[in-house]
Structure 1
Amino acid sequence: MQYDPIKDRFGRLVAGRTWATRLFFFFLQMVFLRSWYVRRELRRAVQRAGSRLRDGERCIDVLDAGTGFGQFSWWMAQRFERLCITAVDVKEDYLQEARRRFAHARLDKRVTFKVDDLVALQADGPFDLILSVDVMEHIEEDERVFSHFFRVLRPEGQVIINTPSDQGGSDVHTSDGESFISEHVRDGYARADLRAKLERAGFHVDRIDYTYGMAGSLAWKLAVKVPMRMLGAWFGWVVLLPLWYAAALPVVLVLHAVDVKLTNKTGTGLIAVAHRPPSS
């Protein structure tokens, strides 16, 4: 299904309203399990980067690579005072609205938005941390992107990549299955393949963990798949979403907590953490 048009309509609904943006971003952080994993890794990465710097030495430079609505830059800017965030995307309309959104919330001094294509990345950094959330499955030339990430990252800097896996990611469970999100150029990564590509770019891979195990996959169906199917058929169903989530959300949150707590032997998502070796 066409996922972006539905996402764009929600973006327009909250445009220009700070209170609506706060509510929308909070909702996204709750409903999407990826946010639970990404926020956990961000806390660890910011603590690690901060431990290498003296107090007041400089800010921790972060690249939000493929920022979209900017929800992760928003979350980081509100919680970590020491960050200087560069948020890039190829969509100028997204960035224009993000600039207005952050200015209204007085977060614009913490985050700089720039149009940039990750395949031909113009940002030169250097950065202490790079975040890429559900972006790489949209890019055919992924190894070029990883090479750019390595180039602009400081020695010992980290990259966090969240992406679907080949174990049912994008809701594809057979070799000829159709992706739930038609904008994807790949359904997901094999864990070994993602590791190999990062290592070829020069990274030392700290870990690649499965996300969206049995509990998380069920939560995704309740929190994302069913509502998106409804809205894809007719956007007017949006008026019923509060009733749907009132019933489903308590179950979804429990399933999210279980998925994050467990070590998943397999899952439909991957989260990778890697760093640039100090001598490179």
Structure 2
Amino acid sequence: MRSSNPVFSRRGFSRDGGYAGFGAAPQAGGPAAAQGNPYAGGNPYAQPQAPTNPYAVGDQQNLTPDQLQQMYGAPPAGPLQTGRMTMDDVVMRTGMTLGTVIVAAAAAWILDLPVAVGFGAALVAMVLGLVQSFKRKASPALIMSYALFEGLFLGVISQVYNERWSGIPMQAVLGTMAVFVGVLAAYKTRLIRVNARFQRFVLGAAIGFLLLMSVNLLFAAFGGGDGLGFRSGGLGIVFGIVGVVLGAAFLALDFKQVEDGVRYGAPREESWLAAFGLTLSLVWIYLELLRLISIFRD
């Protein structure tokens, strides 16, 4: 279960519409269905198979009757005994990761670190985030290091914004909290339905958004000013709103990932990846809100 944030993760939804990494129901008439049902191939009335769980272990068919009796007679084991991910694990790891971001940001603010240090920390955080995203397993040390450097960058950039627009960091924090609560409520009430089409749309929109911002940055670096104007004026407001909406979509993907991980019994260490994805999404939203609010206050 990698981070569901499409910008930093290779994992998404499988081609048949299931959530990658957790298994999906094979289509009727497909190879998986035909293997268990000789009449399934080409049969439009064949029933789809039940979803498979990639985290299920063990082969009960080769157990002896005594072993089966002992297994079924034992008291039920909870997630703690089986090493499976729980919602408490996700909450705790996310709290640790976000707590590190907040403490590092506060330290950078109090110490009044130079802007160069902040952007250096941002570069390190980006590298660490990419390395973790392409790893097959979660690395708590890598994720916490990312949170530390990301926090340093946020503290520096927040102070820069605050010097020009007093109070804007707190406004962005409150806005980020509002987006989080709103998306969570919409997800729990199924106003937002995360499926393969939703994920593909978010991925395509994110790629297009990042490409446009990269082009704008290049024009700003070599031509001066605000480049193509994507971060100021009317266009800046439009792209700022798009950025916040994309961040909200990332959160919905993260919630889906957490829900599926708990439901299918993902290994406990996967909760670190869930915390990593949530942190990425919240940082994205905060930065976009900083830019958007600054435009309104100009």
> TM-score surpassing 0.5?
no
If the length of structure 2 is used for normalisation, what is the TM-score? Answer: 0.23
1 or 2, which has the higher helix percentage? Answer: 2
TM-score, normalised via structure 1 length? 0.25
Greater Cα radius of gyration, structure 1 or 2: 2
Choose between structure 1 and 2: higher strand proportion: 1
